């Protein structure tokens, strides 16, 4: 009987904690909505008075009511990404491509270690790529082409050993491609690295090009091969 009581208590406590976390996720998304311009009312269903955001359009949750997917591609939104999005601890897919979003990428997004797909392409993002994104150990697809990112590719991106596709083309990036990133081509899972239409210098190929059978590297025509 005592064991049963402990089990009931544990399940109730776990449910309570999950509800609190779900509310914090809703608060984070509501804070983001407040900073976005949404002329088509795409976010109309994002009601912060609801128990959790799992019933909102463009939001997908798992069986425990944690947000795992945000689908806001091609939604005619403008405004920034905000640090509060780091509250979405279980987030796996952040899809905000083909909008008019702007500003820098919050370094706090680097704690979203469950993230698998980060699609930022065709917006107006600017500033440096945060080195904290190198902590996204589960990331498979990072597409940030057609923005205005500047500075260097962080060497920390070399830790993204699960990455299959990295698109940084058509930005304002400069400097050398980090050797740690080129090693992802030779020794990890990277199948597509597109760094064209930037201002890179130096080599954009690993020393041993025989390892590139299943990899496509699309490079800056002005960079040294």
Q: Is 20 helix (H, G, I), strand (E, B) or coil?
A: helix
pLDDT above 50 (res 19):
no
Q: What is the mean pLDDT of residues 33-42?
A: 98
pLDDT above 60 (res 154):
yes
Parse the chain into domains and list their residue ranges.
Answer: 1-103
- How far, in Å, CA of 199 to CA of 100, rounded? 24
Q: Could you tell me the pTM of the whole model?
A: 0.84
Mean pLDDT over each residue of the chain, to the nearest integer: 86
Q: What is the mean pLDDT of residues 15-27?
A: 62
pLDDT tens by residue, 173-208: 999 999 999 999 888 899 999 999 999 887 665 544
| Max Cα-Cα span within the chain | 75
Q: Which residues contact 62 (CB under 8 A, 6 or more apart)?
A: 68, 90
- How far, in Å, CA of 152 to CA of 129, rounded? 8
Q: Which CATH architecture has domain 1-103?
A: Alpha-Beta Horseshoe (3.80)
Which percentage of the chain shows pLDDT scores above 90? 73
pLDDT above 60 (res 73):
yes
- How far, in Å, CA of 195 to CA of 213, rounded? 18
Predicted local distance difference test score (pLDDT) of residue 188: 83
> What are the backbone dihedrals phi and psi of residue 46, each rounded to the nearest 5 degrees, phi first?
-80, 85
Find how far residue 111's CA is from the centre of its chain: 10
pLDDT above 80 (res 210):
no
Predicted local distance difference test score (pLDDT) of residue 20: 42
- How far, in Å, CA of 20 to CA of 170, rounded? 41
């Amino acid at each position: 009987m005592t064991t049963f009581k402990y089990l009931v208590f544990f399940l109730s406590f776990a449910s309570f904690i999950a509800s609190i976390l779900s509310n914090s996720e809703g608060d984070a998304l509501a804070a983001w909505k407040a900073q976005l311009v949404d002329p088509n009312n795409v976010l109309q269903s994002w009601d912060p008075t609801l128990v959790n955001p799992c019933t909102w359009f463009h939001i997908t949750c798992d069986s425990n009511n944690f947000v795992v997917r945000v689908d806001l591609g091609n939604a005619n939104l403008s405004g920034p990404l905000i640090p509060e999005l780091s509250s979405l601890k279980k987030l796996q897919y952040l899809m905000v491509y083909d909008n008019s979003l702007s500003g820098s990428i919050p370094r706090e997004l680097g704690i979203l270690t469950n993230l698998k797909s980060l699609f930022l392409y065709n917006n107006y993002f600017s500033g440096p790529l945060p080195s904290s994104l190198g902590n996204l150990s589960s990331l498979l697809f990072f597409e940030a082409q057609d923005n205005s990112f500047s500075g260097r590719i962080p060497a920390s991106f070399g830790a993204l050993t699960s990455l299959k596709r990295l698109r940084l083309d058509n930005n304002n990036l400069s400097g050398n491609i980090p050797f740690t990133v080129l090693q992802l081509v030779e020794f990890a899972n990277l199948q597509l690295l597109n760094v064209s239409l930037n201002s890179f210098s130096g080599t954009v190929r690993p020393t041993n090009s025989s390892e590139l059978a299943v990899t496509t590297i699309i490079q800056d025509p002005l960079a040294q091969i």
